[in-house]
Amino acid sequence: MNKELKTRVVNAYSERISGKPKGQETRKNPSAELNVIQPESCCDDCCSSDSFDEDTREVMDKLDIQSFGCGNPVGLSSIVAGDVVVDLGSGAGLDCIIAGKKVGPAGRVVGIDMSDAMIAKAVENVAKLSLQDIVTFRKGDIEDLPVEDKFATMVISNCVIVLAPDKQRVFDEAFRILRQGGRMIVSDVVSDKDIPDELVRDEKLFVNCLSGATRVDRYFGMLHKSGFGTVEELERRTYGKLNHGQGGIELYSVTVRAVK
Ligand SMILES: C[S@@+](CC[C@H](N)C(=O)[O-])C[C@H]1O[C@@H](n2cnc3c(N)ncnc32)[C@H](O)[C@@H]1O
């Protein structure tokens, strides 16, 4: 099932990034067709513009670049010049670009994504800002990162781990590629209750970053299990609600910091 889910995810995001110039995206409202009350969706189009900080807005104004994120991991990350950053599920490259400006020529940013179309768009975006010596991309699965041990001083991710069927593997991999003292800053969707398998198996709910959410305490537990010492929540926003069972299942977008 995991392989099938990943194929659906990669196909969905490749389709979303292909051939949709800014302003002409199919602005469907996923809440209407999914059994969900959703104030904002990372995966159809990103969060409202007030979620973006000045650096991000500046890049978005310069480039025709879409964000599919649900938070601002770079803004909350305190990336400094010389950092080596790996972005899990880099999409069209927005967070990599902002990180690239912060790490400067002494640092490096590597974006990982399993969609060829996303990587092609990200490479194009990076070239427009002449950041290609700092920011590069590798095709790969975040459950099996094409990155060597202890490569990074920082791992970031924005609304992607919710799409990974095996989140423990993702955290184990992030831990493996971080140097001692390295940090992981991740924005992601979590839930207040366990999500039943029948909803996880629902392709639309899963691909739209909804039913792949993990109960928040389990999410923290997985990070600790991978070996992270300090794990703290930096930010939490209401993300939506799955209409299931009594009271439904609350979804939050959280930004979490974990230190190796
Ligand atoms: C919701 S979008 C977020 C993109 C980007 N982080 C952003 O904020 O715009 C999810 C991205 O993760 C990628 N992705 C999903 N599952 C993945 C996996 N297992 N390995 C690598 N990339 C994955 C998709 O191809 C897509 O580009």
Q: What is the pLDDT of residues 226-239, one digit of tens each?
A: 999 999 999 999 99
Residues with CB under 6 A from ligand 1: 6, 9-10, 13, 42-43, 67-69, 89-91, 94-95, 112-115, 118, 141-143, 158-160, 163-164, 209
Does residue 28 fall inside a structural domain?
no
The pTM (predicted TM-score) of the whole model is 0.92
Residue 57's pLDDT is: 82
Residue 39's pLDDT is: 52
Does residue 199 fall inside a structural domain?
yes
Domain total of the chain: 1
Determine contact, residues 106/78, Cβ cutoff 8 Å.
Answer: no
Residue 21's pLDDT is: 43
Atom of ligand 1 at shortest range from CA of 142: 20
- Tokens for 70? 């649900």
Ligand 1 mean position to 246 CA, how many Å?
32
Does residue 25 fall inside a structural domain?
no
Residue 44's pLDDT is: 52
Ligand 1 mean position to 70 CA, how many Å?
12
Ligand 1 mean position to 113 CA, how many Å?
6
Question: For residue 44, what is the domain's CATH number?
Answer: 3.40.50.150
Q: What dihedral do alpha carbons 2, 8, 9, 13 form, nearest 10°?
A: 170
CA-nearest residue, atom 4 of ligand 1: 91
Residue 253's pLDDT is: 96
Residue 22's pLDDT is: 41
Range with the poorest average pLDDT among 13-27, 38-52, 189-203:
38-52
Does residue 26 fall inside a structural domain?
no
Ligand 1 mean position to 36 CA, how many Å?
21
Residue 53's pLDDT is: 80
Does residue 27 fall inside a structural domain?
no
Ligand 1 mean position to 67 CA, how many Å?
11
Determine contact, residues 74/156, Cβ cutoff 8 Å.
Answer: yes
Q: What is the pLDDT of residues 43-68, one digit of tens each?
A: 554 444 456 788 888 888 888 788 89
Using only C-alpha atoms, what is the Rg of the chain? 17
Does residue 131 fall inside a structural domain?
yes
Bigger pLDDT: 67 vs 82: 82
Atom of ligand 1 at shortest range from CA of 67: 9
Q: What is the pLDDT of residues 160-182, one digit of tens each?
A: 999 999 999 999 999 999 999 99
**Structural domain for 245, as ranges:** 2-19+33-259
Distances (CA, A) of 207 to 9, 30, 103, 200, 249: 6, 11, 32, 10, 17
Does residue 89 fall inside a structural domain?
yes
Pocket perturbation via mutation, ligand 1, pick of 2, 7, 9, 66 by most ligand atoms within 8 A of CB: 9
Atom of ligand 1 at shortest range from CA of 164: 19
